[in-house]
Amino acid sequence: METHQFVKDVKDEIGKVIIGNEDTVEWILNALINEGHVLLESVPGTGKTTLAKSIARTIDGDFNRIQFTPDVLPSDVTGIHFFNPKEQQFELRVGPVVTNVLLADEINRATPRTQSSLLEVMEEKQVTIDRETVKIEQPFIVLATQNPIESQQGTFDLPEAQLDRFFMKLEMSYPEVEEERRIMQAHRTETERPTPSPIFTKENMKELSEKVRQVHISEAVENYILDIVRTTREHPYIEVGASPRGTIALMKSVQAEAAMRNRSYVTPSDVKKMAPLVLSHRMVLTLEGATKHNQKEIMGEVLQQVNVPVEHSVER
Amino acid sequence: MKQFHKDIKNDRFYYGLAIIASFFIFFSFFGIFGIYSSLMLIGIFLYVIYFINHLYEKNIDRKLALINLRQSIRLYSGETGQLEFHLRQNGWLPMFGARLVMTFDSNIQMGNQSKYESMNISTVEKRLNLFGRESRKISIPFTATKRGIARVRSLRIEIPSLFGYGKITLTLKELVKAEILVYPEIKKVHLNHRSKHQKMGEYQTNFSIFEDPITSYGTRDYAPGDPLNRIHWKSTAKKQVFQTKVVERVNQRSWLILLNVRTKDSPAFTDRIENLISTVAYLSRYATMKGIPYELLINVPKRGNVSFYHVSNGYGRDHYAHSLEVLARVNTQGLTASFNSCLAYGKSIGRSHPYVFHLGEVEQSFLASYQEMENTGTSVYVMHERFQTTWFESLKSHQEVAK
């Protein structure tokens, strides 16, 4: 299966449920191909949870959801050993993280300790419960949602180490007028909302990932990526710039972006497009910077500062 | 719907042009001067000028659009920024020698030529040429001079008529959606409060004498003295050794900052307001840097459940930015609210804050309320100023000084 065809099929399937936000769907697929995790952020009522559930359904795999609240404990996420009186022995009961698609709804409502229980599973695709390690089957993706306008009472900001493990952070915008009209019409006429059907398997996923890794990155583009990352570490308004994990994520995301456009090479515009999505949330702004700009605006400044390589040195 | 309100002012010569043209054509029929065709031609020419000018005036704004996007620019006093608009002429009619005139709040200085129109409003002008089917970015540099919110109060485009016989004034009907927030200066104060006592609270910490019994995060071996209800029976059964639940240690280290903006016995703003706001800004910054949550109450009225400015309890960079924004929005030309209502609200929430800071005038009635707060284990600090130095005294010291 070709990557661009796969993206089209998935978009069509998800389009049955989600009207608009096509870019967001594409970017989530980008993360999925790269075995990355996505943090979805937007004001309430824009369809974050519905989108996450729809993506999960298009994958022929298991789907679990955790509704985070302040009293969710790390063991509620990872799992526990429980005593089985019938068998007279302890048995392992794995938590909801052992799945293919994990929807971590309203992740910023959990305490930092509970949020941190996802660290191992997100990075190493395994979970350790009482010294017993459980491997998680691929594909595995965490789709976490959070609401930016939440009052601080009862919410906990995600720690930087946790944010760094998200491949990209996406902000879902309000739909356009015509899209919103279609949403209204769909909800007026349909009694039962359609559900997307599974259209790709774990094998498809592996094949796509391998194809994406073959997309060529020229030296000029490689330097461009490095320049962007280095500039984030030197900007006066940035306290902590993008990590090497961020560099790798940016490289992988641009490869997938090129493959989705049916290209076998990466262009600087791919980097320009993906950098704000992949790097912004990994940067910690200074106190002064945070009062004047948000991470996306600073990322925009960084992209303006860095020289874009000319086209002839990009193509193979 | 048209974005602009149009006002056309033509001089007398322009109307005279039509009259002269009519005369010429009228007399050319009678051959009074014996030069029929020349008169006719001049008359028609003058009519054409008149007619083209009329069409220009009528249609110049028909497809003119100002891209009025929401923009919020945040900066500190003394910093420079740039206000940007896009003006697009979707029609074919050009504008030459036009002037963009903007009035705006005086706490920013726009360009070099801006001049004061009234006490709080300034004006700036910019030359503007725009061809048909052209879009132009208009950038106006500015410097923030004083804390507050600066908005563009009016925007008009003055276009000379095509043949210079008058002027078309296009005034933007809607509000310009640009807002410039000038943050307060941050004035350092001496903070000599001692964070020795703590309260039971909700913030997880590594060291505290308080524990939250419901947030168990692990187990450890039983030690003599551990209460029975802390034993984790399942874990004990599994390990065959008594296990005790380990629970989160918690405390409450938040601040409540109360700012009284009124002068004594008067509803007017105190003349020390800028200094007080700068001190609050410093406290917010200090708390943010130390990771201390804080809540802010200011007796400036607003609509809503809480009828005065209120920044609810929180911490971190976003909370600090929000606090600075609220401080920037305190308009000293506006109204003040009674500090008693602010204090009553503060008292109701004060129990959850171990530290309360008071800034502004202190009246005798406030001290009684603060004393009640102290009786519940809260430490109250009152701001003092002398010789450009600002510091905080505990309530007890303040009362002794007042005596």
- Chain B nearest C-alpha distance from A72 (Å): 9
Q: Please judge whether B217 and A73 are an interchain contact, meaning their C-beta atoms are less than 8 angstroms apart.
A: yes
Task: Say if A90 is an interface residue toward chain B (CB within 8 Å).
Answer: yes
Predicted confidence band of residue A12 (pLDDT cuts 50, 70, 90)? confident
B320 → closest Cβ in A81, A157, A287:
A287
Structural domain harbouring B217: 202-251
Residue type, A163: L
Mutation pick from A157, A287, A292 vs chain B, by most beta carbons of B within 10 Å, is A292
Mean pLDDT of chain A: 86
Q: In chain A, which residues have their Cβ closer than 8 Å to the Cβ of B281?
A: none
Residues B218 and B97 in one domain: no
Q: Please judge whether B204 and A111 are an interchain contact, meaning their C-beta atoms are less than 8 angstroms apart.
A: yes
pLDDT at B327: 95
Note whether residue B309 is domain-resident.
Answer: yes
Rounded distance between C-alpha atoms, residue B197 and residue B210, angstroms: 12
In this prediction, the answer to ipTM > 0.85 reads no
- In the predicted model, is pLDDT for residue B348 greater than 80? yes
| Range B99-119 average pLDDT | 79
Q: In chain A, which residues have their Cβ closer than 8 Å to the Cβ of B288?
A: 287
pLDDT at B198: 63
Predicted confidence band of residue B294 (pLDDT cuts 50, 70, 90)? very high
Rounded distance between C-alpha atoms, residue A120 and residue B327, angstroms: 42
Q: Please judge whether A81 and B204 are an interchain contact, meaning their C-beta atoms are less than 8 angstroms apart.
A: no
CB-based contact B161:B55 (threshold 8 Å) = no
Note whether residue B189 is domain-resident.
Answer: no
Q: Please judge whether A287 and B289 are an interchain contact, meaning their C-beta atoms are less than 8 angstroms apart.
A: yes
Chain-centroid distance of CA B258 in Å reads: 20
Note whether residue B194 is domain-resident.
Answer: no
Q: In chain B, which residues have their Cβ closer than 8 Å to the Cβ of A73?
A: 215-217
CB-based contact B109:B180 (threshold 8 Å) = no
Q: Please judge whether B237 and A73 are an interchain contact, meaning their C-beta atoms are less than 8 angstroms apart.
A: no
Structurally, chain B folds into a number of domains equal to 4
Structural domain harbouring A118: 3-174+182-189
Mean pLDDT of chain B: 85
- In the predicted model, is pLDDT for residue B207 greater than 80? no
Q: Please judge whether B237 and A83 are an interchain contact, meaning their C-beta atoms are less than 8 angstroms apart.
A: yes
Spatial CA neighbour of B326 closest among B377, B381, B277, B359: B277
Q: Please judge whether B237 and A290 are an interchain contact, meaning their C-beta atoms are less than 8 angstroms apart.
A: no
| DSSP-H helix ranges across A59-195 | 74-78, 112-116, 119-124, 160-164, 177-189
pLDDT at B197: 54
Q: In chain B, which residues have their Cβ closer than 8 Å to the Cβ of A83?
A: 234, 237-238
Task: Say if A151 is an interface residue toward chain B (CB within 8 Å).
Answer: yes
Residues A224 and A280 in one domain: yes
pLDDT at B307: 87
Note whether residue A316 is domain-resident.
Answer: no
Spatial CA neighbour of A66 closest among A118, A136, A127, A123: A118
Note whether residue A20 is domain-resident.
Answer: yes
The enclosing domain of A286 has a CATH number of 1.10.8.80
pLDDT at A54: 85
| Range B237-253 average pLDDT | 83
Note whether residue B196 is domain-resident.
Answer: no
Note whether residue B193 is domain-resident.
Answer: no
Q: Which residues contact B156 (CB under 8 A, 6 or more apart)?
A: B100, B101, B102, B169, B170, B171, B172
pLDDT at B403: 64
- The segment with the largest mean pLDDT, out of A13-22, A155-164, B83-92, B245-254, is B83-92
Q: In chain A, which residues have their Cβ closer than 8 Å to the Cβ of B234?
A: 82-83
The residue count for chain B: 403
Instruction: Among B16, B44, B59, give the residue marking a domain's end.
Output: B59
Q: Please judge whether A83 and B316 are an interchain contact, meaning their C-beta atoms are less than 8 angstroms apart.
A: no
Q: In chain B, which residues have their Cβ closer than 8 Å to the Cβ of A287?
A: 285, 288-289, 317, 320
Q: What percent of chain B has pLDDT over 70?
A: 94
Positive or negative torsion for Cα B286, B292, B293, B296: negative
Structurally, chain A folds into a number of domains equal to 2
Q: B289 to chain A: nearest residue by CA?
A: A287
Task: Say if B70 is an interface residue toward chain A (CB within 8 Å).
Answer: no
Residues B142 and B236 in one domain: no
Q: Please judge whether A291 and B74 are an interchain contact, meaning their C-beta atoms are less than 8 angstroms apart.
A: yes
Instruction: Among B20, B43, B59, give the residue marking a domain's end.
Output: B59
Task: Say if A269 is an interface residue toward chain B (CB within 8 Å).
Answer: no
B316 → closest Cβ in A82, A151, A157:
A157
- In the predicted model, is pLDDT for residue A100 greater than 90? no
- In the predicted model, is pLDDT for residue B208 greater than 80? no
- Chain B nearest C-alpha distance from A113 (Å): 8
A152 → closest Cβ in B75, B285, B319:
B319
Vertex B225 angle, CA B219 and B227, to 5°? 60
Q: Please judge whether A291 and B214 are an interchain contact, meaning their C-beta atoms are less than 8 angstroms apart.
A: no
- Chain A nearest C-alpha distance from B53 (Å): 39
- Chain B nearest C-alpha distance from A266 (Å): 32
Note whether residue B188 is domain-resident.
Answer: no
Note whether residue B117 is domain-resident.
Answer: yes
Residues A80 and A142 in one domain: yes
Return the higher-pLDDT residue of A292 and B37: A292
Note whether residue B192 is domain-resident.
Answer: no
Instruction: Among A134, A156, A189, give the residue marking a domain's end.
Output: A189
B217 → closest Cβ in A74, A82, A83:
A74
A290 → closest Cβ in B204, B315, B317:
B317
Task: Say if B322 is an interface residue toward chain A (CB within 8 Å).
Answer: no
Residues B164 and B284 in one domain: no
User: What six digits make up the tokens of A176?
Assistant: 């356009």
pLDDT at B196: 55
Q: What is the pLDDT of residues B125-179, one digit of tens each?
A: 888 899 989 999 988 899 998 999 999 999 999 999 887 778 899 999 988 889 9
CB-based contact A144:A65 (threshold 8 Å) = no
Residues B162 and B25 in one domain: no
A291 → closest Cβ in B183, B237, B312:
B183
Q: In chain A, which residues have their Cβ closer than 8 Å to the Cβ of B316?
A: 152, 157
Q: In chain B, which residues have their Cβ closer than 8 Å to the Cβ of A74?
A: 217
Mutation pick from A287, A291, A301 vs chain B, by most beta carbons of B within 10 Å, is A291
Q: Which residues contact B108 (CB under 8 A, 6 or more apart)?
A: B142, B143, B144, B145, B150, B180, B182
Rounded distance between C-alpha atoms, residue B125 and residue A184, angstroms: 46
